[in-house]
């Protein structure tokens, strides 16, 4: 952002954050949360300024710690996820690692063990890149516990009867239309009811509608549209004001469908016969990409133009996506 930095604008959020820090130290977590929210709302005026983004990350991490003390896990996930997106290019690696760690703790509390494991892995990767001591990291035991929980949960899902049956094309089409109209907004009750009805019947979720499209096609297509700024505004969980959409906003719907049995390797009718995984790389939807890899997405599957997901990741120039699909490095 160009122009003179409005230093005076920092006075209010810094005062709110300092007051919140005192409340936190006194164990007055609910009062601290109110003050952190106040600081975050004021900091929203500094969007685009690096100092504003760093302070937003710190306030979000502290507010998340308050919610963890109160065993309120969903706000922790939302706060940390928004702050992580802000800090994707930040040099504050220690702070970024803290956000991933707290999100992992909250996801474990929500029994989303796959998500917790992914966040913990990101935390470990950041800590290793930020320290010469990569031997004595304190997370190995926790990671082993999460891995066991992931396996146990998947075994439980696999053992559940009955076998999936094929849902109708009309049901699929209703879901697709609803997703495209609502941009994967999980707060839309009608859309979520349709999706849950299909998933709960243990239907064959790779069924195609009359146009040859699947429900996951609609999810991937929405992610691409959001990434290209053609669609997608959501209500920010902190400021309760509209913000630009992020490709990973589709993750809750994607996870619901994949957990329900939808294939991560299905090909799309359009988009040069790309797989779901390739489209998510195009969109730069890092959380979605990592989750698909957990469920067996093929990183070496080519589309009709000869593009693999790894080539797509390089083309979109997203370091986090390149890391997710296998080019595990940090820019110097």
Q: What is the pLDDT of residues 246-303, one digit of tens each?
A: 788 888 999 998 888 787 777 776 656 677 777 888 888 888 888 888 777 766 666 6
Q: Is the dihedral of CA 92, 95, 96, 97 positive or negative?
A: positive
Q: Check if the beta carbon of residue 268 is closer than 8 Å to that of residue 274.
A: yes
Which CATH fold would you assign to the domain 165-324? Answer: 1.25.40
- For residue 318, the model assigns a pLDDT of 56
How many angstroms separate the CA atoms of 154 and 173, rounded? 29
Average pLDDT over residues 304-312: 68
Q: What is the pLDDT of residues 92-148, one digit of tens each?
A: 677 888 898 999 999 999 988 888 888 888 888 777 766 544 443 567 788 888 888
**CATH 1.25.40.20 location in the chain:** 165-324
- The helix/strand/coil state of 243 is strand
Class of domain 7-159: mainly alpha
What residues contact 88, with CB distance under 8 A and at least 6 apart? 319, 320
**CATH 1.25.40.10 location in the chain:** 7-159
- For residue 247, the model assigns a pLDDT of 80
Q: What is the DSSP letter of 266?
A: P
β-strand 203-204 against 165-166: which pairing, if any?
A: parallel
C-alpha distances out from residue 33 to 16, 178, 292, Å:
10, 35, 34
Give the least confident one: 156-160, 220-224, 257-261: 156-160
166 phi/psi in degrees, rounded to 5: -85, 125
How many angstroms separate the CA atoms of 114 and 146, rounded? 8
């Amino acid at each position: 952002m160009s122009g003179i930095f409005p230093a005076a604008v920092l006075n209010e959020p810094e005062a709110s954050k300092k007051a919140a820090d005192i409340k936190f130290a006194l164990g007055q977590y609910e009062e601290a949360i109110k003050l952190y929210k106040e600081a975050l709302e004021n900091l929203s005026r500094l969007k685009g300024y690096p100092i504003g983004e760093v302070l937003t990350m710190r306030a979000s991490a502290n507010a998340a710690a308050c919610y963890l003390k109160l065993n309120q896990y969903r706000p922790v996930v939302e706060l940390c996820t928004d702050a992580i997106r802000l800090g994707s290019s930040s040099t504050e690696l220690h702070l970024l690692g803290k956000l991933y760690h707290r999100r992992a703790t909250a996801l474990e509390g929500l029994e989303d063990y796959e998500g917790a494991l992914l966040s913990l892995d990101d935390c470990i990767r950041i800590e290793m890149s930020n320290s010469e001591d990569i031997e004595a990291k304190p997370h190995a035991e926790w990671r082993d516990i999460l891995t066991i929980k992931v396996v146990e949960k998947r075994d439980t899902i696999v053992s559940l009867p009955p076998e999936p049956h094929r849902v109708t094309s009309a049901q699929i089409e209703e879901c697709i239309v609803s997703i495209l109209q609502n941009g994967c907004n999980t707060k839309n009750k009608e859309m979520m009811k349709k999706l849950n009805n299909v998933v709960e019947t243990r239907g064959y979720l790779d069924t195609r509608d009359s146009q040859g499209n699947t429900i996951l096609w609609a999810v991937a297509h929405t992610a691409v549209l959001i990434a290209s700024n053609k669609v997608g505004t959501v209500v920010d969980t902190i400021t309760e004001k509209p913000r630009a959409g992020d490709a990973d906003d589709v993750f809750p719907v994607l996870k619901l469908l994949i957990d329900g049995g939808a294939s991560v390797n299905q090909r799309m009718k359009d988009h040069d016969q790309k797989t779901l995984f390739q489209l998510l790389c195009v969109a730069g939807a890092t959380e979605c990409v990592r989750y698909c890899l957990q469920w067996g997405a093929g990183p070496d599957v080519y589309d009709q133009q000869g593009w693999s997901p790894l080539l797509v990741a390089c083309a979109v120039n997203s370091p986090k996506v390149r890391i997710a699909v296998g080019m595990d490095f940090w820019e110097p």
